[in-house]
Chains A and B, each alone.
Chain A
Amino acid sequence: MTGYSEVLYVIFAMTIVSTMALNANRFIQVNNYTMVEGQLEEQVIAYSQNIIEESRALAFDEATTYDATGNSTVPVYIPNGFSGLGTDSEAGRTQFDDFDDFNGFSETINIAGVDYDVNVVVEYVVTSDFETYSKTFNKSTLKRITVNMESDFLKKNQNSDNTNYNFSFIRSYYAD
């Protein structure tokens, strides 16, 4: 046993050092991941805000778009006079003229070398549910836009799905 004791000491020492090296490596990986994640999440927030701000700059509904003199037109019946959600023959984002034209809008954008998948949903929400603002299939005077964003670089771990970031804004016809 005497001949093997040195070998055992060496194996023990190498095990300790290897464990230390692996832990350090993991620590560095976590550091790098945190750095990248923080950077990209900030950009995700900024781009989501872009879309929300842009949608707010448009009319509330296709039926309340602006006429040639710049005055807002109003449907006879509110909210039943409002349009269905989604585009109304607008060909692209530059032609969007009301808030819900963004419903179903999706694109892949590249910012600073990173691709982000963007998907937007607009829905009518119940006007009497001030806690959860649940979705309704009927028309109402409240619309909610939700911007969903994800990137291949933003996931909890290598084998998991991309993390989905979503940001919502509720717009009222009366408080426009």
Chain B
Amino acid sequence: MNFGIIISYIIAGFLSITILMVTYTVGFSNQEVTTTLIKKTHSRSIQDIIVNDIPKIGYQNKTVLANKFVTADSDEVSFYSDLNNDGTINQITWKYTDLPSPGSKNPHDNILKRTVDGDETEINVGVTSFIIRYYDEYGATTPMATPISSSNFDDIIQIEIQLELQSSYDLSYRNSDDENYITTSWQKRFSPVNLRTN
């Protein structure tokens, strides 16, 4: 066979492999971006509800509720508030359960529940961590020990929520790679008006 043709085949093979690798890598990157976008959208939806609920702890029109908390633990917070400003005091509960999210292939993906007066909403969009911290001083770096006893409920002035979401499917570059889940996290400390000491 002509030596020139052999060299041409080798170069053509090299180019074909390069093109295939580039196509695969671009496709993988697109998958990562799309999954990240989906997870960020999910995370934002949960954040919106949290930001709606937590600052209203203890709220009642023109006054502050005497009893604000029912439960204050690292994976569950339950409190009273006139959530819709309609004169009805609601009991709102956020609880991160150990129940696996249905249909998810991610072993860390559990159900987050939000309950308003017994009306339960299951949030199963890849929540892999939901940690609640309570502080008895503004700007403190050490949170209060949980669960917080009812006698110490009045000491709570700040609440920090740490939320982490992961994709429900593995997104590894190669099959031999360790499991890789797209992760998005968010952390916010709230200083609810009705928990102020003055």
Contact = CB atoms under 8 A, between A and B. Distances in A.
State the majority secondary structure of interface residues on A: helix
A96 to B, nearest CB: 7
A129 interface: no
12 contacts: A31-B32, A38-B36, A39-B40, A43-B186, A43-B187, A47-B187, A53-B191, A54-B138, A56-B191, A57-B138, A57-B191, A58-B138
A102 B108 CA distance: 39
Contact of B26 (A27, A39, A57, A93): A27
B19 interface: yes
Contacts of B149: none
Nearest to B189: A50
Given A35-B32, A46-B187, 5 more contacts: A17-B19, A39-B185, A47-B187, A59-B198, A112-B185
Interface residues of A, number: 37
B138 A46 contact: no
B11 A10 contact: yes
Contacts of B4: 6
B33 A96 contact: no
Given A24-B22, A27-B29, A31-B29, A70 B198 contact: yes
A78 interface: no
Interface of B: 4, 8, 11, 15, 18-19, 22, 25-26, 29-30, 32-33, 36, 40, 137-140, 157-158, 184-191, 193, 196-198
Given A17-B15, A57-B138, A57-B193, A46 B29 contact: no
Nearest to A70: B198
A10 to B, nearest CB: 6
A13 B15 contact: yes
Contacts of A43: 185-187
Interface in A96-123: 96, 111-112
Interface string A53-75: 11011110000001000101000
Contacts, number: 86
Nearest to B185: A112
A28 interface: yes
A8 interface: no
A14 B140 contact: no
Contact of B187 (A58, A92, A111): A111
A151 to B, nearest CB: 14
Contacts of B22: 20-21, 24
B188 A57 contact: no
Given A14-B15, A72-B198, A39 B184 contact: yes
B26 to A, nearest CB: 5
Contacts of A56: 191
Contacts of B197: 70
Contacts of A112: 185, 187
